[in-house]
Structure 1
């Protein structure tokens, strides 16, 4: 089946969260504020967070993400708390290979919301979407070996640790080689 024919929801719900595609004008403001609030932590792990993007750059990034969602090249979701409508973070199915089919899950959270299990809840819902509705045969989570919080999410959700890829990537700031931990879940 051509991926463009897949019905992929623009909104997902969990007990405490709403995950929705980045399709509303102004999403760039709230995402940019979360990046600003979390820059010190995000800098450690994410190349995009080495410098604070402008609100306009964030808005453009989100609009491109929505275009990629429609083209079925990746599925990015903004995460909100149901009870307060606070923006929490982002999670996405990315690096899609439709021939297998497989993908990778990426995520980041606003630091002030970390430690409450929100990201684990969001990633669990996205994994269900990927395996049950989209029918991916393999979903990976890759993270730097020293990123204990990210590794913990994969492990608690039952992803299998497949190994450490030594000297696999550059650190987020590009200054040194890092090891990547590879986790997967298969259908």
Structure 2
């Protein structure tokens, strides 16, 4: 079946989170969360949301990519307050398997509280149950201790370290750890 013809939910919930696809109009809250978290995010991801307008463009692109099944971005909202706290992405690497890579970031004010562990658990369940995933990968900077610990805590298997695999946002050459969970 062609991915574009696949029907699956555009949101799911965990104990404390509502997780949904991005919608036009989400740009301001994404921009504000990134700006409040720049110090924590800059070592690990390139920041391309330099203005609110730019953030809105990115959100609208993500909305379109979700509809086309090219990239499945989800926004994370605290169920109680309704506050946007981060994002998680299931990027289809091969729909024929199906195989996905998992990417995530969290507003600094919500770290160390188990939110991302909860979100990743929910995304894994969503991918296996709703998308028929057979493999989910987390590929992270080998020096990103928090991401490595999260993968290991959720029983992803470390398949290897890829030396000199990518350029970090600061331009330095970095190693990547590849973790996988198989269904």
- 2:31 corresponds in structure 1 to 32
Gap runs ≥5 in structure 2: none
Partners of 1:92 and 1:67 in 2: how far apart? 14
Query: Superposition RMSD on alpha carbons, in Å?
Result: 1.1
1:90-129 paired onto structure 2 within 5 Å: 90-129=87-126
- 2:63 corresponds in structure 1 to 66
* 2:42 alignment partner, SS class: helix
Query: Contact 2:72–2:89 at 8 Å: present in 1 too?
Result: yes
User: Structure 1 residue runs of 4+, over 6 Å off?
Assistant: none
Partners of 1:10 and 1:132 in 2: how far apart? 13
Classify 1:21/1:52 alpha carbon distance in 2 versus 1 (closer, same or farther; 3 Å).
closer
- 1:15 corresponds in structure 2 to 15
Partners of 1:52 and 1:21 in 2: how far apart? 18
Post-superposition Cα deviations, 1:1-34, rounded to whole Å, max 9, x if no partner, equal 12122222111111100001111x4210000000
Gap runs ≥5 in structure 1: none
* 1:26 alignment partner, SS class: coil
What is the TM-score when the length of structure 2 is the normalising length? 0.96
Query: Contact 2:161–2:176 at 8 Å: present in 1 too?
Result: yes
Partners of 1:37 and 1:138 in 2: how far apart? 33
**1:146 maps to 2:143:** yes
Aligned residues: 183
Partners of 2:89 and 2:70 in 1: how far apart? 11
Post-superposition Cα deviations, 1:134-170, rounded to whole Å, max 9, x if no partner, equal 0111110010001011111111111111111011111
> In the alignment, which of 171, 178, 183 is matched to residue 182 of structure 1?
178
What is the TM-score when the length of structure 1 is the normalising length? 0.94
Query: Contact 1:75–1:93 at 8 Å: present in 2 too?
Result: yes
Query: Contact 1:74–1:96 at 8 Å: present in 2 too?
Result: no
Classify 1:76/1:186 alpha carbon distance in 2 versus 1 (closer, same or farther; 3 Å).
same
Partners of 1:154 and 1:6 in 2: how far apart? 28
